[in-house]
Protein backbone atom coordinates (compact mmCIF):
# COMPACT_ATOMS: atom_id res chain seq x y z
CA UNK A 1 0.00 0.00 0.00
CA UNK A 2 1.30 3.46 -0.88
CA UNK A 3 2.07 5.98 1.77
CA UNK A 4 0.58 9.47 1.31
CA UNK A 5 4.03 11.06 1.75
CA UNK A 6 5.46 8.94 -1.05
CA UNK A 7 2.62 10.08 -3.33
CA UNK A 8 3.38 13.72 -2.48
CA UNK A 9 7.03 13.19 -3.46
CA UNK A 10 6.02 11.79 -6.86
CA UNK A 11 3.97 14.86 -7.80
CA UNK A 12 5.67 17.41 -10.06
CA UNK A 13 6.87 20.65 -8.48
CA UNK A 14 4.34 22.85 -10.26
CA UNK A 15 1.47 21.14 -8.42
CA UNK A 16 2.88 22.22 -5.06
CA UNK A 17 1.66 25.77 -4.59
CA UNK A 18 4.58 27.01 -2.50
CA UNK A 19 6.97 26.16 -5.36
CA UNK A 20 4.76 27.51 -8.15
CA UNK A 21 6.07 31.09 -7.80
CA UNK A 22 9.66 29.95 -8.36
CA UNK A 23 9.05 28.42 -11.79
CA UNK A 24 9.54 30.56 -14.88
CA UNK A 25 6.45 31.27 -16.90
CA UNK A 26 6.18 32.23 -20.52
CA UNK A 27 2.84 33.46 -21.82
CA UNK A 28 1.04 31.66 -19.02
CA UNK A 29 2.69 28.28 -19.66
CA UNK A 30 5.23 26.63 -17.41
CA UNK A 31 8.65 26.22 -18.97
CA UNK A 32 10.66 23.04 -18.52
CA UNK A 33 13.85 23.55 -16.57
CA UNK A 34 17.34 23.33 -18.04
CA UNK A 35 20.30 22.11 -16.04
CA UNK A 36 23.10 24.53 -15.25
CA UNK A 37 25.53 22.26 -17.12
CA UNK A 38 23.42 22.54 -20.28
CA UNK A 39 23.28 26.33 -20.04
CA UNK A 40 27.04 26.56 -19.38
CA UNK A 41 27.81 24.40 -22.42
CA UNK A 42 25.44 26.48 -24.57
CA UNK A 43 26.90 29.85 -23.48
CA UNK A 44 30.50 28.61 -23.82
CA UNK A 45 29.99 28.12 -27.57
CA UNK A 46 28.35 31.49 -28.25
CA UNK A 47 30.27 34.64 -29.02
CA UNK A 48 29.46 38.19 -30.04
CA UNK A 49 28.97 37.10 -33.66
CA UNK A 50 26.00 35.07 -34.92
CA UNK A 51 26.29 31.28 -34.51
CA UNK A 52 23.96 29.00 -36.48
CA UNK A 53 22.06 26.38 -34.50
CA UNK A 54 23.76 23.56 -36.43
CA UNK A 55 27.18 24.82 -35.32
CA UNK A 56 26.00 25.03 -31.70
CA UNK A 57 24.70 21.43 -31.93
CA UNK A 58 28.03 20.26 -33.35
CA UNK A 59 30.18 22.05 -30.75
CA UNK A 60 28.13 21.20 -27.65
CA UNK A 61 26.81 17.74 -28.47
CA UNK A 62 23.35 18.80 -27.28
CA UNK A 63 20.15 18.06 -29.17
CA UNK A 64 18.11 20.75 -30.91
CA UNK A 65 15.31 20.46 -28.34
CA UNK A 66 17.72 20.89 -25.43
CA UNK A 67 19.29 23.91 -27.08
CA UNK A 68 15.94 25.56 -27.80
CA UNK A 69 14.81 24.97 -24.20
CA UNK A 70 18.03 26.49 -22.81
CA UNK A 71 17.73 29.35 -25.30
CA UNK A 72 14.19 30.08 -24.10
CA UNK A 73 15.49 30.60 -20.56
CA UNK A 74 18.38 32.78 -21.71
CA UNK A 75 16.15 34.83 -24.04
CA UNK A 76 13.75 35.40 -21.14
CA UNK A 77 16.63 36.81 -19.07
CA UNK A 78 17.92 38.90 -22.04
CA UNK A 79 21.32 37.18 -22.01
CA UNK A 80 21.27 36.11 -25.66
CA UNK A 81 19.70 37.32 -28.91
CA UNK A 82 18.04 35.08 -31.50
CA UNK A 83 17.21 35.64 -35.15
CA UNK A 84 15.56 33.35 -37.68
CA UNK A 85 16.52 33.54 -41.35
CA UNK A 86 14.64 31.96 -44.24
CA UNK A 87 17.23 30.31 -46.48
CA UNK A 88 15.55 28.52 -49.35
CA UNK A 89 13.05 26.08 -47.89
CA UNK A 90 14.73 25.99 -44.49
CA UNK A 91 14.45 28.35 -41.56
CA UNK A 92 17.78 28.62 -39.77
CA UNK A 93 18.10 29.92 -36.24
CA UNK A 94 21.10 32.01 -35.18
CA UNK A 95 22.16 32.89 -31.62
CA UNK A 96 24.64 35.33 -30.12
CA UNK A 97 25.37 36.84 -26.73
CA UNK A 98 23.52 40.05 -25.94
CA UNK A 99 25.81 43.07 -25.88
CA UNK A 100 24.68 44.94 -22.78
What's the CATH number where 75 sits? 1.10.10.10
15 within a domain of the structure (yes/no): no
| SS3 per residue for 14-57 | HHCHHHHCCCCEECCEECCCCCHHHHHHHHHHCCCCCEEHHHHH
* Count of domains for the chain: 1
pLDDT of residue 14: 47
Measured distance CA(82)–CA(52) in Å, rounded:
10
Say which range, 25-29, 42-46, 48-52, 93-97, has the weakest mean pLDDT: 25-29
53 within a domain of the structure (yes/no): yes
26 within a domain of the structure (yes/no): no
Measured distance CA(80)–CA(99) in Å, rounded:
8
93 within a domain of the structure (yes/no): yes
pLDDT of residue 5: 57
The Cα-based distances of 57 to 16, 22, 91, 94, 97 in angstroms read 35, 29, 16, 12, 16
**pLDDT tens digits along 45-89:** 888 889 898 888 888 888 888 888 888 888 888 888 999 998 888
What mean pLDDT value characterizes the chain?
A: 75
71 within a domain of the structure (yes/no): yes
pLDDT of residue 6: 54
64 within a domain of the structure (yes/no): yes
77 within a domain of the structure (yes/no): yes
| Domain membership of residue 64 as a residue range | 35-100
13 within a domain of the structure (yes/no): no
Amino acid sequence: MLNFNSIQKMKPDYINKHKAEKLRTRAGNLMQSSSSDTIKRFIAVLGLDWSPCKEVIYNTGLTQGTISRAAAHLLRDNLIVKKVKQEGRCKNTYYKLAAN
